């Protein structure tokens, strides 16, 4: 038997992709949203860890920032899913091919948090596998990514001012699911 992946036009129900900074709640909301929709859920950071059989931070340590971003872009750009909530790593926004693929799979939701909340939740980012340039501060990283996230997002839901359940409700109110 030969399996033929579905083309975008054949997909009955698209995916929903969650993007945003570390600490925005992508993994938590991904699980809640998937449960509510009775869909699958994929965390792309866990996917990378599974693919390489080592923690995300170790992938960064072994391959370095540029190669890590290339790996992430490659693996995410090859996703072929339907009826799945995709929780991405914060750095996926740097990969044009990855973002193009995610946009083809369905709507992209930015889980927004303000800069101070990001710093409070993530701290110095140590051992998180955070894709940050040497010498850059957490504030630099936040300010660098915000315009990229906003440009890619179909909708924005603020997770620092709403409960997880309120965020899920806002997402479902703004996205048409057939």
Retrieve residue 122's tokens: 């993530």
The string of pLDDT tens digits covering residues 70-115 is 999 999 999 999 999 999 999 999 999 999 999 999 999 999 999 9
Question: What does the pLDDT read at residue 15?
Answer: 96
- Contact predicate 153/81, CB 8 Å: no
Q: What pLDDT is stored for residue 71 in this prediction?
A: 96
Phi first, then psi, for residue 142 (nearest 5°) are: -60, -50
8-33 average pLDDT score:
85
Q: At a CB cut-off of 8 Å and minimum separation 6, what does 56 contact?
A: 45, 48, 49, 89, 128, 129
DSSP state of 53: T
- Going by C-alpha positions, the residue among 90, 110, 91, 102 that lies closest to residue 22 is 90
Name the residue with tokens 């090859």: 78
Mean pLDDT of the 35-41 span = 96
Q: Which tokens in the block code for residue 93?
A: 């926004």
Classify 77 as helix, strand or coil: helix
Percentage of the residues of the chain whose pLDDT score is greater than 70: 89
Predicted confidence at residue 79, as pLDDT, reads 96
Residue 3: is its pLDDT beyond 80?
no
Q: Are 94 and 131 in contact (CB under 8 A)?
A: yes
pLDDT tens digit sequence for 149-162: 999 999 999 999 99
d(CA 156, CA 19): 10
CA triple 33-37-40, angle to 5 deg = 80
Between 123 and 23, name the one with better pLDDT.
Answer: 23
Per-residue confidence (pLDDT) for residue 11, from 0 to 100: 45
Q: Residue 136 corresponds to which tokens in the numbers above?
A: 């850059």
At residue 12, the pLDDT reads 57
Domain 13-172 fold: Rossmann fold (3.40.50)
CB-based burial, 93-130: b 16+ in 10 Å, e otherwise: bbbeebbebbeebbbbbbbbbeeebbbeebeebeebbb
For residue 121, pLDDT beyond 90: no
């Amino acid at each position: 038997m030969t399996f033929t992946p579905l083309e975008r036009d054949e997909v009955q129900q698209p995916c929903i992709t969650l993007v945003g900074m570390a600490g925005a709640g992508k993994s938590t909301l991904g699980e809640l949203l998937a449960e509510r929709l009775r869909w699958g859920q994929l965390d792309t950071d866990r996917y990378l860890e599974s693919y390489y059989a080592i923690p995300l931070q170790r992938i960064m340590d072994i391959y370095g920032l540029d190669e890590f971003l290339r790996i992430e872009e490659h693996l995410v750009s090859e996703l072929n899913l339907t009826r799945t909530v995709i929780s991405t790593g914060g750095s996926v926004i740097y990969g044009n091919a990855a973002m193009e693929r995610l946009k083809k799979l369905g709507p992209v939701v930015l889980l927004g948090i303000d800069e101070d909340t990001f710093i409070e939740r993530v701290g110095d980012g140590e051992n998180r596998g955070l894709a940050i340039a040497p010498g850059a501060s957490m504030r630099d990283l936040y300010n660098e990514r915000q315009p990229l996230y906003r440009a890619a997002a179909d909708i924005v839901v603020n997770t620092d001012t709403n409960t997880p359940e309120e965020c899920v409700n806002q997402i479902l109110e703004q996205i048409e699911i057939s």
